[in-house]
Each structure stands twice: as structure tokens, then as C-alpha cells.
Amino acid sequence: MRTPKKLIAWTVGSAAVIGAVGVLSARLSPALAAGGRRPIAGPFTLADGIFYAVAALTIGGAAAVALSRNILYSALGLLASLLGVAGLYAFLSADFIAVAQVMIYIGGVLVLILFAVMLTNRIGEVNISNASMGWASAGLLSAVMLAMILVVAFEVPWPVRSTGSAPTTAPIGHALLQQWLLPFELASLILLATLIGAIIIARKEIRAD
Amino acid sequence: MIPTLSHYLAVAALLFALGLFTVLTRRNAVAVLMGVELMLNGSNVNLVAFNKFVVGGLTGQAFTLFVVVLAAAEAAVGLAIVLSIFHTFKTIDVRAADLMRE
């Protein structure tokens, strides 16, 4: 049951997102050509198409999280966004991080969030509230933040090096157990503390009478 | 034209800005936590992209792994706090939990 007003808002919102992505990708070519860091070479290949699809999945999911009125749709948008980020990791030849993203974020964090959504709303209610406030000021602040990040990202001449792609799982395993051994063990300690803390905070008080 | 560093930085910036917008506008505490996850993912994409295109090696990826682990811990504790707020105030509107303001 969607009123035309909502439909118009959604259409305008998705058009704005698509337009932003289009403007960004159009902005990319002159920036790169002017910087002369990497020549614009070659036609639009299949890999480019997959990259843009993954990026659109990421941004679209994030937009659904930010703009949807229903928190369950927000959770589904988060699922799409996290999947897209996993795809970006795969594109960056970070295979282990991609798999960890799928297992930890989608298998763990998202399930936790869905549990929290279900436990903190009355399921019978038709409209699970996800109201928002301060759209104008928050939008302005986010836009300024985005502009600042993009200016830095495009204007600074990053010393880009030529890269190859190699499997990273075995090197990461070695690095975790040699170079990063102390942070690795500390992470396990933090996870244990989190486990105990979450249980103690979330349980109901049971008083022994 | 394979995706360059700027492509990833643009996607990560958009992700971060949308997460910031979510954190700023939502009144539902769970949705605020979703925004925090989006911002963490944006910064993670930046870490891995800089690791591949600028620095090299594995430092950025190891850092990303630790960020992911800490984000999972943060989500668990945060959602436990949300449940506790729900039990106390019967709502998860972040404006309702203002007992310490008076």
C-alpha cells in the first residue's frame, strides 16, 4: 500500500543515487587524464561492468539503509551493501578479507542485527517504525563530508604503483602468527570480554528471593 | 580501464557519507548501529584499496581484519545495550534514554 507521494520520493531518490554514481564516474576520467597518472586505456570490458555492478550494489544497499522507512528493508539493504563490499574486496585481490567479510559481517553481525530488530519490536505491528529526524542538517553535513573526502581522494597525487594479484590467505596466516601475534591474541581477549559483557548486559535480572 | 584507486575511494566515500547520514537521522538505535557498520565498511574499503595500490604488502589487510573483528565485538555489545535499553524504557528511540540529563 504505497501512496503516489512515496512512489515519487523513491523515484527521485533512486534517480539521485544513479545520477551521483554517473557524475562520479564521469568525473573520474578527466581527473585521471589531467593527473596523467594512468592513461585512459582500452574499451569498457566485462570486468568494468562487474565492478560497476558491485559498486552499485554497495551504494544502493547503503542508500536503502539510509533512506528506507521500514527497518527490515534497512536490514536487507545492509545485507546487499555488505555483499557488495565483499565483492570489492575480491576485486582488490584480497580474497581472505572477502571471505571473512561474508562470514563475520553477513553470517554474524547481520544476524545479530536482525535478532535485535525482532526482539525490540512487536512483530504483530504492521508498520515497524524507523522514523528519522533532521534530514536537512544531516544531509548537509553528510554532503560536506562527502565533498571533503572526494576532494582529497581525487586531488592528491597518490603514488600509485603497479600491482599484481596473488593469493593472500597463506601470507596473512603467517603475518598473523608472526608480525601481528600480540594484536591477534589481544583480539581473542577482546572477543572473550565481549562475549561475557554482552551476556551480562542483555540478560534479564533474576533475583534470588 | 580496470578500476583504479579513485574508483574505490569514491565508493568508500559514498558508503561513509551514507553511513554518517544514517547515524545522524535515525531515532531507532538499531538503525544507528547499522549506520556505524556502513561507516566502518567504508573505511575498510579505503584500507584495502590503499594497501593494494599505494603501500603494498599485507599490513592494510591485517588491519582490516582487526577492524572487522572489533566491529563484530562492537555490534554484539551495542545490540546488548540496545536490548537493555528496550527492557528499561520499553522503546529504542535514542531520544528516550535521557535519564542522566536531568
Query: What is d(CA A117, CA A94) in angstroms, rounded to the nearest whole number?
Result: 32
> B65 pLDDT exceeds 90?
yes
Answer for the pair B75, B62: CB distance below 8 angstroms, yes or no: no
The number of distinct structural domains making up chain B is 1
Nearest alpha-carbon partner for B99 in B87, B78, B85, B79: B85
Name the residue with higher pLDDT: A201 or B100.
A201
Cell of A27: 568525473
> A164 pLDDT exceeds 80?
no
Q: What is the CATH number of the domain that holds B85?
A: 1.10.287.3510
Arithmetic mean of pLDDT, A150-173: 87
- What's the domain range around B70? 5-101
Arithmetic mean of pLDDT, A189-194: 95
Alpha-carbon distance B14 to nearest alpha carbon in chain A (angstroms): 7
Q: Which of B41, B54, B82 sits opposite A161 (nearest CB)?
A: B54
Tell which phi-psi region holds residue A41, choosing left (phi > 0), alpha (psi between -120 and 50) or beta. Answer: beta
Give the pLDDT of residue A130. 54
A11 Cβ contact partners less than 8 Å away, ≥ 6 residues apart = none
Residue of A110, A113, A180 to mutate for B, most B C-beta atoms under 10 A: A113
The domains of chain A are located at 42-166
> 0.90 exceeded by the pTM?
no
Query: What is d(CA B82, CA A207) in angstroms, rounded to the nearest whole number?
Result: 22
Cell of B93: 528511540
Answer for the pair A60, A17: CB distance below 8 angstroms, yes or no: yes
- Going by the DSSP 8-state scheme, the letter that residue B102 receives in this structure is -
Arithmetic mean of pLDDT, A17-24: 70
Q: Spell out which residues of chain B touch residue A71, defining contact as CB-CB under 8 Å.
A: 28, 30-31
> B13 pLDDT exceeds 90?
yes
- Contact A146/B13, CB-based, under 8 Å? yes
Tell me the backbone φ, ψ of residue B78, rounded to 5 degrees: -60, -45
Arithmetic mean of pLDDT, A74-86: 95
Query: What is d(CA B37, CA A15) in angstroms, rounded to the nearest whole number?
Result: 25
- Contact A141/B34, CB-based, under 8 Å? no
- Contact A194/B73, CB-based, under 8 Å? yes
Q: Tens digit of pLDDT for each residue in A133-155? A: 678 888 899 999 999 999 998 88
Give the pLDDT of residue B26. 85
Task: Note the ipTM here.
Answer: 0.91
Mean pLDDT of chain A: 82
Into which CATH architecture does domain A42-166 fall?
Up-down Bundle (1.20)
Q: Among B8-12, B33-37, B89-93, whose mean pLDDT is lowest?
A: B89-93
Alpha-carbon distance B79 to nearest alpha carbon in chain A (angstroms): 6
Alpha-carbon distance A17 to nearest alpha carbon in chain B (angstroms): 10
Query: What is d(CA A85, CA A55) in angstroms, rounded to the nearest whole number?
Result: 8
